[in-house]
């Protein structure tokens, strides 16, 4: 049977939102980029100060080539975001 997932809330995520203690979430998974943010090819700025917001996965998807996804696993810290949900599709008329 699959292991139960470890969930944290957005509030927990927010408590790790400064240089040296920096978690971000992309599509419901939580990544610890504390030590790596300064080496990010896009600079440390995109992570601060709002990188804890769940919606930040949008810039990730928009700014990165497909190859960037393979680096994510390295930073996965085992947590999932409890209140993550896929936003509703806009109604296009
Ligand atoms: C663990 C999470 C992340 C990883 C592993 C990652 C990885 C990368 C990599 C590999 C590149 C270079 C892409 C290339 O050579 O074309 C890059 C560029 C960039 N990243 Fe990230 N990134 C992460 C999170 C983010 C987030 C949250 C943002 C938020 C906005 C962001 C914004 C950017 C920007 C603006 C660039 C520069 C794009 C360009 O110059 O074309 N990244 N990132």
Whether 54 is in a domain gets the answer yes
- Kindly compute the dihedral angle of the four CA atoms of residues 49, 34, 56, 5, in this order, to the nearest 10 degrees: -130
Residue 9 reports pLDDT greater than 90: yes
Q: Say whether 59 sits in a helix, a strand or coil.
A: helix
Q: Is the CB of 53 under 6 A from ligand 1?
A: no
Whether 43 is in a domain gets the answer yes
Ligand 1 center from residue 28 Cα (angstroms): 18
> What CATH number has the domain bearing residue 36?
3.10.120.10
Number of domains in the chain: 1
Q: Which protein residue's CA is at the shortest distance from atom 25 of ligand 1?
A: 60
Domain span holding position 12: 6-81
Q: To which residue do tokens 């601060």 refer?
A: 48
Whether 93 is in a domain gets the answer no
Q: Which protein residue's CA is at the shortest distance from atom 37 of ligand 1?
A: 42
Whether 26 is in a domain gets the answer yes
Whether 65 is in a domain gets the answer yes
Tens-digit pLDDT profile for residues 36-56 = 999 999 888 888 766 555 555
Give the mean pLDDT of 58-63. 81
Atom of ligand 1 nearest to the CA of 75: 1
């Amino acid at each position: 049977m699959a292991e139960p997932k470890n969930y944290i809330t957005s509030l927990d995520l927010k408590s790790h939102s400064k240089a040296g203690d920096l978690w971000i979430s992309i599509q419901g998974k939580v990544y610890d980029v504390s030590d790596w943010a300064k080496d990010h090819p896009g600079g440390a700025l995109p992570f601060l100060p709002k990188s804890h917001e769940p919606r930040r996965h949008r810039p990730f998807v928009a700014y990165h080539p497909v190859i960037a996804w393979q680096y994510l696993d390295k930073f996965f810290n085992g947590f999932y975001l409890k209140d993550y949900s896929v936003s509703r599709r806009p109604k296009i008329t």
